[in-house]
A and B are shown apart, each in its own frame.
Chain A
Amino acid sequence: MSGPKAGFASGLLDIADPEDAIEFCYEQGWTDGLPVVPPTPERVRRFLAAGGRPPDDVIVEYIDRSRRVTVEKAAINSVMAGCRPDYFPVVLALIEAMADPGFHLHAANASTGGMAVGFVVNGPIRNELNMNCRGNVLGPGNRANSTIGRALRLTQINAMGSVPGAGNEPDLDGTARPILDRSTMGQPGKYAGYHVPEYEEAFPSLAPLHVMHGFAREQDVVSLFSVVGHLQISAHAESTAQEIIDTICFYLAGCGRLTRGGDCVLVIPPENAEKFVRDGFSKADIADAVYQGTRRTVAEVKRAGGSVSGGLMDRRGGPVRPGDDEREVAIATDGSHVHVVVAGGPAGAFIYALLPYGGGFAMREIRRPESNMREG
């Protein structure tokens, strides 16, 4: 291995034959199990130029693990994920959001609960990057959707120490990195995240998520949250907005994720959004109705045979204790923590609830290279 050179703080590693580069990356333990693009200096330089920020800028001061994630490390991992350079400002904004104390980064990186990272992208940059906000929005098929999320995961693995595989601890020969992603099961969302560019143009009366939070419609903004999993709610047989709300609440109340504090993201497809608009529901109305409809007291949950987490955990069938009739849980902290996003294909009334777990919600404006350069 060569030391730092050629203007990089990161070490350069020599590979005799370029044909071996992908296998070499596997051997180093740098991948998520899928092949990566070898992070050559020239590729990384293009990302740094597109990001417009000094490579030694620290994006995340990760105190729990005594690591500092720099722009350069983010660029290397973004190259490996298969991003294009013009995606890099989005990746940087998302990693910045990870450092927000409200996001609870360490829980997302370490928990046995196996949280994936979810993100919404708002603003003109969605279309400039040809992100897909329509059919299969949460699935495969779009380079920006998939690789931006993958860049986050590779950054978590390589720059934040979240090497997966608990239970497969290597021989203690001092060469392998410790396995610090302690997820019991993991989940498919940990490959590329839950990626949700919002379909802002579909229903102008439903304000985009970033506008709901005080940003201007022309601003480019990412919203980051952790997701323990999702629930697909079929709402085809519901003919009014209130019926859709009732169905959402019926399923969410029993999904096992009622909480004292957390954020739930509801991805509403056009077929359902149309009915909300027709019946005069705003996003705030939807969010508040879902919160109200999922409120339960701890006593109610216990009497129904359930258990509740977050400091209220009790053994199933445990006694109702003093105060349990007053303490409440719901699918989110309150209505302002239910985030409604419009996305998805033209046919199908499948609402996706991205379920909360431990983490929070953080937003960051995406800084374009020109504004980055001005500030720098």
Chain B
Amino acid sequence: MGYEVLDPVVEPIAPEASLAPRLDSLEGKWIGLWSNNKINAVELLDEVEAILRDRYGIAGTKRGTYNAGRVMRAGEWGDIDGCDAVILTHGD
């Protein structure tokens, strides 16, 4: 007779979500730059902002921070709703 064991692994359930529509252009858009509060995150975002301004003619940026260690609640994201696109940056 064989021997059976139960599988202890939980497989992820694919979340019901889809990508937001792509922007046709960055020109005149507000870009959110959110840092995870770690060293070099702000410096990296500064570089990104300079490139966005120089090359793509964005309207401006909004800055914020987030906690990568947990799911952020809706009210914790600052003025993220005022952005057309957001870049989350991991410094570490």
Contact residues on B (Cβ < 8 Å of other chain), bracket: 20 to 34
The answer to whether B65 touches A44 (Cβ under 8 A) is: no
Main secondary structure of the interface of B (DSSP, over half): loop
Q: Chain A residues with Cβ under 8 A from B10's Cβ?
A: 67-70, 73, 158-161
Give residues 1-41 of B contacting A (CB, 8 Å): 2-15, 37-39
The answer to whether A14 touches B6 (Cβ under 8 A) is: no
A10/B69 contact (C-beta < 8 A), A15-B3, A67-B13 known: no
A199-238 vs B, Cβ < 8 Å mask (1 yes, 0 no): 0000000000000000000000000000000000000000
A150-181 vs B, Cβ < 8 Å mask (1 yes, 0 no): 00001000111100000000000000010000
A12/B8 contact (C-beta < 8 A), A64-B70, A311-B37, A313-B37 known: no
Total inter-chain residue pairs, C-beta < 8 Å: 102
The answer to whether A44 touches B39 (Cβ under 8 A) is: no
* Interface: A251 (CB within 8 A): no
* Interface: B47 (CB within 8 A): no
A159/B8 contact (C-beta < 8 A), A64-B71, A107-B70, A310-B37 known: yes
Q: Chain A residues with Cβ under 8 A from B11's Cβ?
A: 67
The answer to whether B2 touches A14 (Cβ under 8 A) is: yes
Give residues 6-23 of A contacting B (CB, 8 Å): 8, 10-18, 21
The answer to whether B5 touches A66 (Cβ under 8 A) is: no
Contact residues on A (Cβ < 8 Å of other chain), bracket: 35 or more
* Interface: A333 (CB within 8 A): no
Q: Chain A residues with Cβ under 8 A from B8's Cβ?
A: 10, 30, 39, 73, 76-77, 80, 154, 158-159
The answer to whether B4 touches A13 (Cβ under 8 A) is: yes
Query: How many Å lie between the Cα of A310 and that of B15 in the bound state?
Result: 30
Give residues 50-73 of A contacting B (CB, 8 Å): 63-70, 72-73
Give residues 62-118 of A contacting B (CB, 8 Å): 63-70, 72-73, 76-77, 80, 101, 104-107, 110-112
Query: How many Å lie between the Cα of A311 and that of B3 in the bound state?
Result: 53
* Interface: B54 (CB within 8 A): no
The answer to whether B12 touches A66 (Cβ under 8 A) is: yes
The chain B residues found within 8 Å of chain A, CB to CB, are 2-15, 37-39, 65, 69-71, 92
